[in-house]
Amino acid sequence: MPSAIVIGGGLAGLASAAVLGQSGFQVDLFEARGFLGGRATSYPLPGDTSEVIDNCQHVLLRCCVNLMDFYRRLGVADRIQFHQQFFFIEPGGRTSVLQAGGLPAPLHFTGSFLDLKFLSAADKVAIAAAMLAIRREHGRRQDLDKITMLQWLREKHQTERAISRFWNQVLVSAINEDLDRMAASHGFQVFWLGFLARSDSYEMGIPAVPLGDLYGPKGWDSIPNVRMHARTPVERVITDQGAIRGLRAGGEQHSADYYISALPFERLPAVIPELDLKLEGFEHSPITGIHLWFDRPITELPHATLLDRTIQWMFNKSGGRYLQLVVSASRSLVEMPRADVIALALRELGEFFPIAKEATLEKAHVVKEIRATFSARPGLEQARPGSATRFGNLFLAGDFTRSGWPPIMEGAVRSGYLAAEAVTRAAGDEQKFLLPDIA
């Protein structure tokens, strides 16, 4: 039985371990922390262990086919609840709903799009024209990785309100970057796959359980040949004459035929210094999650995107009393004291849900993920490394690698599948795990 060691128990590492284990490799996965899932995980609320919280609400779209495939392998795909409605709320509380109607793609949003109250007729005409341009230019235009999404939107004469209330609202959360920093290619991908390709691909999947439960022991019991080593940080990978000979983890030496590093990019120089990757231009973009518990229900909506303010999304985690608010590309909150972040969130929430002004806040928790994802800027695509390395038995995975997707869960799983495919190729029995995009 060929053997493989996977370093890192985030989605990339877990996905590669699952498919290799199912393909007959003996897999040992080393994870530094006491739980699996990396940046997409959950843990007991500090100071109140009765409550398990996600580090931040994670959502997916139905077009994330590899992520769903991974959940299926673990037997947890049915824990993802898909929502057909997107709620947009303006300050003051006026709510609009975007949802597919009876027409086939790409016309499926026509009815609800025309009814959106937060956009004027001129905004809608501009957005419709830009959607047609995405269809026309997708796969043809060569400079989309060289320009920002904002440049592209300006080229298409988008109104200020269309930019701030529609494009910005959807894309900043999807890519975790501002429009003037994000490569247009990523914006294209979100709208092409998520909004235009199929009439159900926009549906938003929200885990019905804490993220950590998706990777619990029950799922792994059904996947053969994988041994998990939690709380076992890999200290150093040992190289010798162009190959990996082993690694030190938990004070012991371990070795295997093949190795997959599924570490975040900033950890590579310390753990595998000989890799000598040139990751120039890679910077982080932060995400802030604000967890608020009230003494009464604040809303019946399951989720909503909040327009024109700092807070971008609200997720109703429990009967309207526990809300999780999300700010992507949250640079403005990084230095802000936590008490001020909570005060800002309460102030803004009151503008959308007046009852929040009367409610008593019972507890609050702020998670600032400074290294949430890499900043998906123009020109970076070529710098993202593939799975092969200068060592014949070492392969790279992780959302920063060239997965074909932005740094999100689908990208991480894709990278894990690609690295696992490379391992099977090196072992002389090539296998395919990656599912193609829906279009």
Judged by beta carbon, residue 22 or residue 373, the one nearer ligand FAD is 373
Alpha-carbon 115 to chain mean position: 30
Judged by beta carbon, residue 156 or residue 377, the one nearer ligand FAD is 377
Judged by beta carbon, residue 159 or residue 168, the one nearer ligand FAD is 168
Q: At what angle do helices 168-175 and 184-191 cross, to 10 degrees?
A: 100
Judged by beta carbon, residue 113 or residue 191, the one nearer ligand FAD is 191
- Exposed, middle or buried: residue 383 (CB in 10 Å: 0-12, 13-18, 19+)? middle
Closest CA to 324 of 265, 371, 367, 376: 367
Nearest approach in angstroms of CB 314 to ligand FAD is 14
Interacting residues toward ligand FAD by CB under 6 A: 7-13, 30-33, 38-40, 55-56, 58-60, 233-234, 262-264, 267, 271, 287, 289, 369, 372-373, 398-399, 407-409, 412
Measured distance CA(313)–CA(224) in Å, rounded = 39
Beta strands in 59-179 (DSSP E): 60-61, 80-83, 86-89, 95-98
Judged by beta carbon, residue 18 or residue 162, the one nearer ligand FAD is 18
Structure tokens at 77: 């795909």
Judged by beta carbon, residue 167 or residue 313, the one nearer ligand FAD is 313
Measured distance CA(123)–CA(340) in Å, rounded = 34
CB 402, CB 384: distance < 8 Å: yes
Nearest approach in angstroms of CB 170 to ligand FAD is 13
Nearest approach in angstroms of CB 92 to ligand FAD is 27
Nearest approach in angstroms of CB 13 to ligand FAD is 6
Judged by beta carbon, residue 180 or residue 235, the one nearer ligand FAD is 235
Interacting residues of 308 by C-beta distance below 8 A, sequence separation 6+? 90, 91, 164, 165
DSSP strand pairing (204-207 vs 60-61) = antiparallel
Nearest approach in angstroms of CB 325 to ligand FAD is 12
Nearest approach in angstroms of CB 31 to ligand FAD is 5
Nearest approach in angstroms of CB 103 to ligand FAD is 28
CB 324, CB 315: distance < 8 Å: yes
Cα first-last separation, the chain: 37
Judged by beta carbon, residue 134 or residue 260, the one nearer ligand FAD is 260
Edge-first strand listing for the sheet containing 252-254: 234-240, 243-249, 252-254
**Residue 97 CA: distances (Å) to CA of 109, 196, 227, 235:** 10, 18, 46, 50
> Strand, coil or helix: what is 323?
strand
Nearest approach in angstroms of CB 29 to ligand FAD is 9
Nearest approach in angstroms of CB 126 to ligand FAD is 27
Judged by beta carbon, residue 314 or residue 372, the one nearer ligand FAD is 372
